[in-house]
Amino acid sequence: MRTPTRSRYRHFAPFALISSAALLLTACGSGSDAASGTTANAAAAKADQIPTTDVVSAIPKDAAAAKLLPPGTTSLTVAVAVGGTPPGTTYLSDGKTLNGQDVDFADAVAKVLGITLKTEQAGFEAILPALDSGKYDFGASNFGVTDERRKSIDFVTYINDGQGFATRSDSKLAKVTDLKQLCGLNVATGAGTTFEATLEENKKVCTDAGEKAYSVQTYSESGAIWSSLQQGRSDVVMSTINGLRYAVAQQTGVKFLNEFHRLDVGFAFKKNTKLAPAFQAAVNKLIADGTYAKILKKWGTSGSAIATSRISPPELKN
């Protein structure tokens, strides 16, 4: 994590306290013990009144989709990153039950395929590297499909999300259409994400223009990201479109700027997985029978719907 540099917007007045959920999450970074992390996330879930409508348990097995699984497949291990804000994965008030859009989609696909899931929590940046070793069978944590990732990872798409920006309400920024608008600013984002990669790869747009490069500040917890914005250590947040819209709706003093780059999002597997056809068929079954729309409606993300699931499609260029 880089030391923040002085912001050109240092004149910003402190804005209203961010939701208790976000502040609680700042206490459970990667160095926190499991108990404190669980407590914080549980409180966060309660504070944010996360949707809990059951849209999964009644889903029947689909024999045609299940037949596409490798012979003998009855259980799979899925890795999820916990600690974000809805629709990302969080804990419910019991401190044990995971809830979120990715969890619902993983559970729904498992129902269609007639298999059980063993869910393991992992840091977002650790999941993709662990797939090749077989530690996890797949990851479900809003993984954007990029051409770089497709070199070593297979994806089965289930939504369309992408990259966006948010900032304080009193910021002069209204829309970020060019990263040169961020020159000299501190930008907070998640570690190991497409956002971090995009920011790091394009720093030269500032220096090439003779301006000071923006500073990229990475965090493992979304609560820490929002806290950095609140405390003036960051000027802008770059994260998922859906996550930003939700976070901004839950708190005062911040605003969603705009969508910057849309990406397909998919379940992540090791390269050349034999599981992809079955997962693709399961997602398409959910789309066809209306369950897919119910999950999106639950999480307020109907604008992220896809017409059909695809296996490792090219990165969207928009």
150 phi/psi in degrees, rounded to 5: -65, -15
Averaged over 27-42, what is the pLDDT?
32
Provide mean pLDDT across the span 24-44.
33
Give the residues across from 8 on adjacent strands: none
Q: How confident is the model at residue 294 (pLDDT cuts 50, 70, 90)?
A: very high
User: Who wins on pLDDT, 226 or 39?
Assistant: 226
Tokens representing residue 141 in the block:
């944590």
Note the pLDDT tens digit of each residue in 146-181: 999 999 999 999 999 989 999 999 999 999 999 999
Tallying the residues shown for the chain, one arrives at 318
Q: Is 121 exposed, middle or buried (0-12, 13-18, 19+ CB in 10 A)?
A: middle
- Would you place residue 85 in the very low, low, confident or very high pLDDT band (cuts 50, 70, 90)? confident
**What confidence score (pLDDT) does residue 181 get?**
96
Structure tokens at 68: 């596409």
* Per-residue pLDDT at 251: 83
- The answer to whether the peptide bond before residue 129 is cis (omega within 30 degrees of 0) is no
Exposed/middle/buried for 102, CB within 10 Å: 0-12, 13-18, 19+?
Answer: buried
Can you tell me the distance from the alpha carbon of 210 to that of 233, in angstroms, rounded to the nearest whole number? 24
Q: What residue ranges in the chain does DSSP mark as E strands? A: 75-80, 90-91, 98-99, 116-121, 138-144, 153-168, 186-190, 215-219, 236-240, 254-270
- Give the angle subtended at the CA of 164 by the CAs of 92 and 310, to the nearest 5°: 75
> Is residue 263 helix, strand or coil?
strand
Q: What is the pLDDT of residue 183?
A: 97
Measure Cα distances from 207 to 193, 204, 210, 265 in Å.
Answer: 23, 5, 5, 32
For 242-270, write each residue's pLDDT tens digit. Answer: 999 988 888 889 999 999 999 999 999 99
Q: Which two tokens stand for residue 33?
A: 């013990």
**Separation of alpha carbons 197 and 151, rounded Å:** 15
- What's the rounded mean pLDDT across residues 7-25? 32
Q: In the prediction, which pLDDT does 252 show?
A: 87
- In the predicted model, what is the mean pLDDT of residues 63-91? 93
pLDDT (mean) for 212-231 = 92
318 pLDDT tier (thresholds 50, 70, 90): low
What pLDDT score does 49 carry? 66
